[in-house]
Structure 1
Amino acid sequence: MCPGTVSMHDRSYTRVNCQLKNVHYENDIHYTLQLCKWLLKPIGVWPLVNNRASKLEQLVSIVLMTTCFSSLLFIVLPSFHHIFFVEKNTHIKVKLLGPVGFCFSSTIKYCCLGLKGPFFERCIQHVRKDWKTVHDPNYRTIMLKYATVSRKLITVCAAFLYSGGMSYHTVVQFLSKDRRGKNYTYRPLAYPSPDSILDTQSSPTYEIVFFLHCFAAMIMYSVTTVAYSLAAIFVTHICGQIQIQIARLHDLVKSKEREGGERDPLSVIVHDHVEILRFSKNAEEALREICLAEIVESTIIMCLLEYYCMVEWRNNDAIAIMTYFTLLISFTFNIFIFCYIGELLSEQCRQIGINSYKIEWYNLPAKNAYDLILLISISQYPPRLTAGKIIDLSLNTFSSVAKTSLIYLNLLRTVTDW
């Protein structure tokens, strides 16, 4: 018979279908996924990763995705045509290459988010299940701690990206030194526009195009922040689960954890460790293309932003310098965190093997002590977060990206005769 109640000291947990259930799991899931949900809904991707979406939400999602994708193409197509077939000045080409390249990369990542919807849904369902079944208040505290870490990282990423990005699209276009120094009648736009089709200098065409550019910019920054937030949520969740298994290993020797006396604690550890490895594989499969796009994008954009900062420093344009420097910090921070969470994932998964040896295993029954060899062996081959199954995301990768951007910077200075 399945017991109908839980102990009197903990009324936050109850048994449902013979399984302990966290009655606060809805609030916990909302806390974990809230920021990601806020970002996914406006770009129409949330129903693709949420199996609970209604028919109306799915219809709205199709409309939003069509609108967002069209807005990105409204920038990418005329801009590439202008850069490769119209513009002859090398300096202007280089100045346009950064923002247009970022828009193109965001379009690719947006397509990846849509195509990888089922994989993200599988990962989110796994997160929901873990929150629903966590039964120990100490374990729930560990998970909340790592959920808080992911929220803070997402907030910092979004703050830098949106502030620097929107400053480029608005403040720099009107208040940079080039605009202040001369009496321009030409009204500025962040991207080349199809002048052969539209007269973008007349009203209200100019205002409409300017608004579309800003709207597309918000989509770009949302897509980038979403990619980052999904990676942060999944990896920090895995880290929380790893810490729970380590706590169980330490309790194993003290014989304090018996899962209600129904299951052998070591079998629970092994089972949950396998679930962690399966979740890690699903997360890596969902994120690998986006991570590859981030690596390539960050290497090129960091190089261009460094170049822009040097050029504006020579021009003594404080507003442009501040904007480009903020964006440089943002992209550097983003790729650093991508690489850091990849390093963190591998390091945390190794900790299970290390702690399996550190506990007082010699006080365990011989059979259980031998079983720990399995955990130690598996931990020697931790899961990794990769960029397209080509590059392992680690701190060494971040160092390589930073060095490569500087190499490209020197090459760019030579090409442009700066």
Structure 2
Amino acid sequence: MTDKLVAAKKKYGNLGEYSIQLSRWYLKPMGVWPDPVTTRREKILAQISIVVCWCIILFTVIPAFLHVVLVNEDIYLKLKTLGPLSHWCVDGFNYLVLLIRQDDISYCVERIRSDWKMITRTQDQEEMWKSAKLGRSIAGFCAGFMQGTIFCTCFVLGAFKRTVEVGNKTVDIYTLPCPAYKFPVQTNPTHDVILGTQFLSALVVSSSAAGSFTLATIFASHALGQLNIMVMWVNEFTKRSGEKGKKAQTNEIGIIVEHHLRVLR
């Protein structure tokens, strides 16, 4: 484990970066990642990213919503449309929450970085490394699964034609993951352009969901690592409590309690 810690330090420079790297990959392109050391250029690019992401999301949501409300279809087709549309709306709201809570995310990220700097004993860092590795693995698997299922769904719903019967004729029509109101989707390149835009929109909303999940997983696994360190410290304190004087014991208890309060905050 020590060799792995050394290798990770060489690769990432700071083990705290190993913990948060996956979330940064998802959230920074969307302008959500709260990096305190940013230049004016990076701040402008982040704002542009936010505007572009919202435009892409709304380009899918608004026409689909208008289609559900204004087009005269049977209830089955409307319910079929509400499935993908609700996914876009929920994850779009999730993206909004991430933007609103950037300060809270920044606080938690800085706590992770400071904990890695504060904990210097090798066996404590090994315990943190185990938790960080577990959280990163779970977050990576689930985020990849979420992205994969969304893209497979969009591909199946949009890349193939659907055969319908119109009177005595059989007609092949183009389909989309979300219907686009008033757009001539039965002609190319209009269909391909809208389909590509909806793929990008799916990437944005699924990335916001995956980013939220990775944040929650990484924060929870980091807290788990800190609590495991607390258990180690308490066990070590009880084993050697009779070997030191009362003043030294009081100091150790104070350190343990202070760190415990830090974890709870």
TM-score, length-scaled by structure 1: 0.56
Structure 1 pair 242–167 and aligned structure 2 pair: CA distance change class (3 A)? same
Structure 1 pair 72–160 and aligned structure 2 pair: CA distance change class (3 A)? same
Q: 2: CA distance between counterparts of 1:58 and 1:42?
A: 12
Q: 1: CA distance between counterparts of 2:181 and 2:157?
A: 22
Hey, what does 1:124 align to over in structure 2? 109
1:271 counterpart = 2:258: yes
Q: 2: CA distance between counterparts of 1:23 and 1:210?
A: 43
1:112 counterpart = 2:105: no
Structure 1 pair 184–263 and aligned structure 2 pair: CA distance change class (3 A)? farther
Which structure 1 residue ranges, 5 or more long, are not aligned? 1-11, 14-21, 279-418
Structure 1 pair 222–130 and aligned structure 2 pair: CA distance change class (3 A)? same
The answer to whether the 8 A contact 1:127-1:237 is kept is yes
Hey, what does 2:178 align to over in structure 1? 191
Hey, what does 1:167 align to over in structure 2? 152
Q: 2: CA distance between counterparts of 1:170 and 1:161?
A: 14
Hey, what does 1:383 align to over in structure 2? none
Hey, what does 1:82 align to over in structure 2? 67
Deviation digits for residues 136-157 of structure 1, max 9, x if unmatched? 1111011111111111111221
Aligned residue for 2:94, secondary structure, equals helix
| Structural mapping, 1:17-416, within 5 Å | 26-46=13-33, 49-175=34-160, 178-179=162-163, 184-195=171-182, 198-255=183-240, 264-278=251-265
Code of the residue aligned with 2:56 in structure 1: it is S
Aligned residue for 2:150, secondary structure, equals helix
Which structure 2 residue ranges, 5 or more long, are not aligned? none
Q: 2: CA distance between counterparts of 1:173 and 1:24?
A: 41
Structure 1 pair 206–236 and aligned structure 2 pair: CA distance change class (3 A)? same
Q: 2: CA distance between counterparts of 1:209 and 1:25?
A: 40
The Cα of 1:229 is off from its aligned counterpart by 0.6
Q: 1: CA distance between counterparts of 2:148 and 2:94?
A: 21
Structure 1 pair 148–87 and aligned structure 2 pair: CA distance change class (3 A)? farther
Deviation digits for residues 144-178 of structure 1, max 9, x if unmatched? 111111111112212221221111111343458x5
Q: 2: CA distance between counterparts of 1:175 and 1:203?
A: 14
The answer to whether the 8 A contact 2:127-2:229 is kept is yes
The Cα of 1:262 is off from its aligned counterpart by 11
* Alpha-carbon RMSD: 2.7
The higher-RCO structure (CA 8 Å, 6+ apart) is 2
Q: 2: CA distance between counterparts of 1:23 and 1:132?
A: 15
The answer to whether the 8 A contact 2:146-2:206 is kept is yes
The Cα of 1:76 is off from its aligned counterpart by 1.5
Equivalent pairs: percent with the same residue?
Answer: 25
Deviation digits for residues 87-116 of structure 1, max 9, x if unmatched? 421111111111100100111111110010
Deviation digits for residues 163-206 of structure 1, max 9, x if unmatched? 21111111343458x559996442221111131xx433333322
Q: 2: CA distance between counterparts of 1:229 and 1:154?
A: 5
The answer to whether the 8 A contact 1:79-1:192 is kept is yes
Code of the residue aligned with 1:267 in structure 2: it is G
Code of the residue aligned with 1:268 in structure 2: it is I
Aligned residues: 252
Code of the residue aligned with 2:107 in structure 1: it is R
Aligned residue for 1:200, secondary structure, equals coil
Q: 1: CA distance between counterparts of 2:194 and 2:73?
A: 24
Code of the residue aligned with 1:165 in structure 2: it is I
Q: 1: CA distance between counterparts of 2:170 and 2:225?
A: 58
Code of the residue aligned with 1:79 in structure 2: it is A
Aligned residue for 1:92, secondary structure, equals helix
Aligned residue for 2:31, secondary structure, equals coil
Code of the residue aligned with 2:105 in structure 1: it is F
The Cα of 1:209 is off from its aligned counterpart by 1.0
Q: 2: CA distance between counterparts of 1:53 and 1:87?
A: 50
Code of the residue aligned with 2:92 in structure 1: it is T
The answer to whether the 8 A contact 1:146-1:239 is kept is yes
The Cα of 1:133 is off from its aligned counterpart by 1.1
Code of the residue aligned with 2:102 in structure 1: it is G
